[in-house]
Amino acid sequence: MNAVKFEQGPIRPPSEAGSLLLRMTRNCPWNRCLFCPVYKNEKFSRRSIEEIKNDIFAIVEAAEEVKAVSEANGLNGDINRQVVAKIQSERPELLQVAFWLYQGGENVFLQDGDSLLLPVDQLTEILELLIEKFPTIKRITSYARSKTLLKRNVEELQRLRKAGLNRIHVGLESGNDQVLEFMKKGVTGADHIEAGQRVKEAGLSLSEYVILGLGGEQWWREHALDTAEVINQINPDFIRVRTLAVPKISPLYEKVVQGEFKLLSDDDVIREEKLFIESLQGINSEFYSDHILNLLEDVSGKLMEDKNKMLSIINEYQSLPVDKREKFRLGRRTGYYRTMSDMQNSNLGDPVERTYRQLQHKGISVDDYIEQLMLRFI
């Protein structure tokens, strides 16, 4: 029995939770964004095509071993829960591949922060090999920086699409140039627009990530308005928001401590999100709040038809009395509540009420308590 080994990076988008992770590069070639805690103190490197191909062969080998476990248990190579459970207890190193096959072996995410830096010929070869070895694959996606996308013309992006790449995830973060510059994102709003439009023109699916609260107190309005304007010009397939949280390892932490950047409160983030959504016009993107850091995860839907529904959820939150808003935030951040309707459920509400009273008793503000909780989710 061989030890099957292939390399994996630290992160993936939330929507790629069930995807096979295949590492193209290590870490981030830019690595300067102030808000970003990932890859700090890690050097960027490209993996050679041989290394990546060897990983694909290792995954093929792992898949064969998973099937052998199934056959040994009289299941004819089918990968069901029983096989996954057996592998979890007996061959944990095969678990990711087993789980991926159990889910149909359909989705792959190329790691780490900017795979499109690899030469188009190399990427094409890797994509073709992946699909040859796993014909079940339906979707292959990758992160890419807008700056890197600008180095690829539409024809090159089309080549990658034809080779099997389906979707690009871009960390847009903000469309406002002051915010982008302050945060050292290394791109402008115009770069984001050009890169996003190019991806769309090549026929690739595009997911743009926006950080709520990234303008802080100083630029919250400009951040909301300009980000909406940039998104309106791109019309991505997906808009995904996540709320800013600042762990000690991110360079922004020091700026917060020094008072050079003032974080928004939850309520101010919601005010900003409302302005952002109100300003989205003439696009048909799907909007998701699929990150645990977001307060109102049910603010999601298809633009423009669900826009009013999304805004009405925000209005409902804003119209709650102060103590109810605090309790909802507490319940959400402690994992009892997902949506405001959960507050009607006393099984969920009672522990939240107890924590709320304990905090009051100890003189701890809900804001301070939540600030600490938020860092757990990064």
**Per-residue contact flags (x/-) with ligand SF4 for residues 81 to 120, judged by CB under 6 A:** --------------------------------x-------
C-beta closer to ligand SF4: residue 32 or 138: 32
Instruction: Decide if residue 220 touches ligand SF4 (CB under 6 A).
Output: no
Question: Do residues 209 and 171 make contact, with C-beta atoms less than 8 angstroms apart?
Answer: yes
Q: Rule CB under 6 A: choose which of 20, 33, 211, 314 binds ligand SF4.
A: 33
Among the listed ranges 27-35, 115-123, 226-234, 260-268, the one in contact with ligand SF4 (CB under 6 A) is 27-35
Cis amide leading into 237 (omega within 30) = no
**Per-residue contact flags (x/-) with ligand SF4 for residues 148 to 187, judged by CB under 6 A:** -----------------------x----------------
Cβ 317 to ligand SF4 shortest distance, Å: 28
Of 199, 108, 125, residue with least CA distance to 156:
199
Question: Do residues 263 and 35 make contact, with C-beta atoms less than 8 angstroms apart?
Answer: no
C-beta closer to ligand SF4: residue 30 or 182: 30
Among the listed ranges 17-25, 28-36, 115-123, 360-368, the one in contact with ligand SF4 (CB under 6 A) is 28-36
Among the listed ranges 32-40, 92-100, 123-131, 370-378, the one in contact with ligand SF4 (CB under 6 A) is 32-40
Q: Rule CB under 6 A: choose which of 22, 36, 212, 264 binds ligand SF4.
A: 36
How far apart are the C-alpha atoms of 203 and 190, rounded to whole Å? 20
How far apart are the C-alpha atoms of 253 and 251, rounded to whole Å? 5
Among the listed ranges 29-37, 230-238, 276-284, 346-354, the one in contact with ligand SF4 (CB under 6 A) is 29-37
C-beta closer to ligand SF4: residue 146 or 289: 146
Q: Rule CB under 6 A: choose which of 47, 67, 145, 152 binds ligand SF4.
A: 145
Cβ 32 to ligand SF4 shortest distance, Å: 6
Half-sphere exposure of 281 (CA within 13 A, CB side): 6
Q: Rule CB under 6 A: choose which of 6, 23, 30, 224 binds ligand SF4.
A: 30
Exposure class string for 130-141: b at 16+ Cβ within 10 A, else e: bbeebeebeebb
Instruction: Decide if residue 31 touches ligand SF4 (CB under 6 A).
Output: yes
In the structure encoding, which two tokens stand for residue 298, read together? 């049910």
Q: Which amino acid is at 111?
A: Q
How far apart are the C-alpha atoms of 114 and 158, rounded to whole Å? 18
Cβ 228 to ligand SF4 shortest distance, Å: 20
Q: How far are the Cα atoms of 123, 162, 197 from residue 204, in angstroms, in the given order?
A: 15, 10, 10
Cβ 93 to ligand SF4 shortest distance, Å: 27
Beta strands in the chain (DSSP E): 20-23, 25-26, 45-46, 107-111, 139-143, 167-173, 205-212, 238-243, 286-288, 301-302
Instruction: Decide if residue 28 touches ligand SF4 (CB under 6 A).
Output: yes
Helix (H) or strand (E) holding 355: helix 346-362
Residues interacting with ligand SF4, by CB under 6 A? 28, 30-33, 36, 38-39, 113, 145, 171
